[in-house]
Amino acid sequence: MLNSSEDSYMAPTDEELMLKVKDDGDGRAFELLVQRHRKPILNFVYRFLCDQEVAEDVSQEVFLRLWASAGTYLPIARFTTFLYTIARNLCLNALAKSRNAPSMQSLDETDTEIDRQMQGKTADPSGSPEREVIGKETERMIMEATGKLSPEHRLVFILTEYHGLSYQEVAAIVQCPMGTVASRKNAAVRQLRSRLASLRE
Amino acid sequence: MECEQIRDEMVMFLDNEVSDEKREAIQAHLDSCADCSSELESLRSFKQLCQDWKDISPSREWTLEFRRKLANAREQPMTELEVLRAAVIGLSRRVRELEESQSLFPPTLESEIMTVDELARYLRLSTEQIFDIIDQLPRFQIGYEYRFKRESIDQWIRSLEQRPYPQKYLWGDWSGREE
């Protein structure tokens, strides 16, 4: 069976689409880019900010910013580098905003917030009920542990571990040398392993 | 000593971020060192564990909400064409106002429907005075615009003619307000 034209081997690359957006203000090309990347971007923001509701909002902002700053896109950069750089900036803004907010969350409150988040998640239909409970508990603990990493470490960890980006691309996104990416990843993994030690038998 | 260095490179090794040369060297060490090799397995299972933090999906409202925001954002900065167009519309409206006030083009009273300005001229009153007594006039509204049917206005005038008291009463003011 044939796939839709978008999936066929003739499908335009992200870079080609982005150039159409930049040069012609092509709305159709933009829509395709949004379709392809909204889920990964949503998850990137979600894992960084640990808040599903805020992630919806910020992920939409990312694509608004993408549209507005299309003129600054240079075809020498990978599209994902461009997109994740925007996402990273907006994530850091959102983080600063939540820190400056008058109601400083205590650690306990953060925990209940995460609980609330976890309850809202849709159940995985393939897993058995017990597995599901254990899975959610695991998820909660990973979320909590990554939430305690510094923003710099968290960025590197999420981008390499959940988005499969190379150290080189991450270095371009977070604007630091590749060696720094490697050492941040190492440090992040070390911290997470010690925090999550109880989860591993 | 060597183990220490290998362990520092293990994360990179599993992320496929080492050169082929290095990969071979690490692999060779792992084959001969049980400690490091079990450390690698432990790291591998940690990375596996992290994958239990599952992806979420965009909500149903995501696209709709995004479209709304995009439409708003695109409205704000006006292009040069839009700025010029708005200016032309503004100017032509002003020109029409001036033309009317100078009676170069007196409003045609043949029309059965009158605007506030036309009614003012018809009744020889100022627009302001019309608005003062607007509640008493037979009128209808389209949106925010008042319109007057000439026939109804004429009828209203006839009813005034039959009233015994001075017309000034209309403005609820017996003293002064001489036109």
What digits encode the pLDDT tens for the residues B118-165? 899 889 888 888 998 888 899 999 888 899 998 899 989 888 887 655
Residue B42: closest C-alpha in chain A: A200
CB-side exposure of B81: number of CA atoms within 13 Å? 0
When pLDDT is cut at 50, 70 and 90, the band that residue B110 belongs to is low
How many CB atoms neighbour CB A159 within 10 A?
Answer: 26
Cβ contacts of A124 on chain B, cutoff 8 Å? 54
Cα separation, B78 vs B84, whole angstroms: 10
Domain boundaries, chain A: 11-100
Closest approach of A160 to chain B, Cα-based (Å):
8
pLDDT confidence tier of residue A75, bands split at 50, 70 and 90? confident
pLDDT value for B65: 87
- Tell me how far apart the alpha carbons of residues B114 and B105 are, in angstroms, rounded to a whole number: 15
For the cut 80, the answer to whether the pLDDT of residue A132 exceeds it is: no
* B58 to A196: CB separation less than 8 angstroms, yes or no: no
ipTM comes to: 0.77
- What kind of architecture, by CATH, is found in domain B105-171? Orthogonal Bundle (1.10)
A189 to B59: CB separation less than 8 angstroms, yes or no: no
Which pLDDT does position A53 carry in this prediction? 92
CATH number assigned to the domain covering A11-100: 1.10.1740.10
Which among B54, B68, B170 is positioned nearest to A122, based on CA atoms?
B54
Distance from A171 to chain B by nearest Cα, in Å? 13
